[in-house]
Amino acid sequence: MLELREVSVSLGSRRVVEQVSARVERGSLVALVGPNGAGKSTLIRAVAGVLAHDGEILVAGSSRAGLGARARARSVAYVPQRPVLPVSMTVIDYVLLGRAAHHSVLGTTSRLDRLVAAAALERLRLTDLARRRLGELSGGEAQRVVLGRALAQEAPVLVMDEPVTSLDLGHGQLVLELTDELRRDKGLTVLCAIHDLTLAALHAEQLVLLHEGRLVACGKAGDVVTVENLRRFFGAEVEVLAGSHGPVVAPLRLSPAPMPAPPAGNTPRDTPRQDGRVAMAAP
Ligand SMILES: Nc1ncnc2c1ncn2[C@@H]1O[C@H](COP(=O)(O)OP(=O)(O)OP(=O)(O)O)[C@@H](O)[C@H]1O
Ligand SMILES: [Mg+2]
């Protein structure tokens, strides 16, 4: 459904993404992972059509090169990492913007648009916030509203840039379960940059690991989420545990725990021991 053929992106004079090729099958989710600055957002923005690129990006076999903004928006919906929100707009009006790609040039909001927008809010448990202004939302609520706008777009491909980063555990789960449901029911195809490798492993059919703009590993979670890859590309020391639904990343503590300060009132003769407890001197 979505195919990247040797996609490269330059920002200023820097080549930030270098010849990345990948496929996302209809109804599947590919997680784009990698350390800060690896090029994930840049690649996502190229797929969304907001950055120029070399190489080819195909949706349902057709190149996106030369498509106008509205045609692009009908094929790919984009959830940015740092959206700029019009603070005085209401949630429902913002979500309705997602329907603009379906209007004629002078089109007005239809009953269908309102139904689709209301359904998107409902799915994201945002109905109670529909009349709130965007400037009056918490970070995680705003992030879900941006996803709501993308869902209202009803494009067959959804690209999301760290959609669960500011969400609590429950709402993060809600968002990924929701995309699972849309993948199953509507064949939605998803490319998603994500830092939580355990969640990525749980939901994605495939992981693509970027490092310094290049694809350095791709495949099933068990092949990508490994102690060696996390050490080499993230500089992280972790254990990778065998969870019941895939690998679970458990960070390791490298330095010993700091000694707790002695409780007030201890005499100078009370000496901390190596295990962190305080040995009381005999009176
Ligand atoms: N406008 C720009 N001009 C030059 N370099 C840029 C520009 N914007 C971003 N970069 C650089 O491009 C590289 C890739 O950035 P990008 O935002 O794609 O990384 P990322 O993988 O999404 O990182 P993060 O996990 O922190 O979101 C980084 O080194 C970044 O500093
Ligand atoms: Mg990013």
265 conformational bin, left if phi > 0, alpha if psi -120 to 50, beta if neither:
left
| Intervals of the chain under pLDDT 50 | 276, 278-279, 281-283
CA distances from 261 to 23, 254, 275, 281 (A): 54, 21, 13, 16
In terms of residues, how long is the chain?
Answer: 283
CA separation for the pair 262, 266 (Å, rounded): 7
Rounded to 5 degrees, φ, ψ at 99 are: -85, -10
For residue 161, what pLDDT is reported? 96
For residue 105, what pLDDT is reported? 58
* Pocket probe mutation, ligand 1, options 8, 14, 16, max atoms within 8 Å of Cβ: 16
For residue 273, what pLDDT is reported? 53
Range 171-179 contact pairs with CB under 8 angstroms and sequence separation of 24 or more = 171/125, 171/140, 171/144, 172/196, 172/199, 174/124, 174/125, 175/124, 175/144, 175/147, 176/202, 176/203, 178/123, 178/124, 179/29, 179/203
Distance 231 CA to ligand 2 centre (A): 20
CA distances from 191 to 2, 119, 206 (A): 9, 22, 10
Q: Where do the domains of the chain lie?
A: 2-235
For residue 109, what pLDDT is reported? 82
Give 89-116 pLDDT, tens digit per residue. 999 999 999 998 777 656 688 888 999 9
Please tell me the class of the 2-235 domain.
alpha beta
For residue 81, what pLDDT is reported? 86
For residue 71, what pLDDT is reported? 80
Helices (H), the chain: 40-48, 69-75, 91-97, 111-123, 139-152, 169-186, 197-203, 221-224, 227-234
Q: Ligand 1 in contact with 45 (CB < 6 A)?
A: no
Relative to beta strand 238-243, strand 246-251 is antiparallel
Ligand number, closest to the Cα atom of 45: 1
Q: Ligand 1 in contact with 82 (CB < 6 A)?
A: no
* Pocket probe mutation, ligand 1, options 8, 11, 233, max atoms within 8 Å of Cβ: 11
For residue 222, what pLDDT is reported? 95
Rounded to 5 degrees, φ, ψ at 179 are: -65, -35
* Residue with CA at minimum distance from ligand 1 atom 7: 11
For residue 132, what pLDDT is reported? 97
Distance 51 CA to ligand 2 centre (A): 14
CA dihedral 270, 271, 274, 275 (to 10 degrees): 0
* Residue with CA at minimum distance from ligand 1 atom 8: 11
- In the structure encoding, which two tokens stand for residue 67, read together? 């498509």
188 and 24 in contact (C-beta within 8 Å)?
Answer: no
For residue 274, what pLDDT is reported? 54
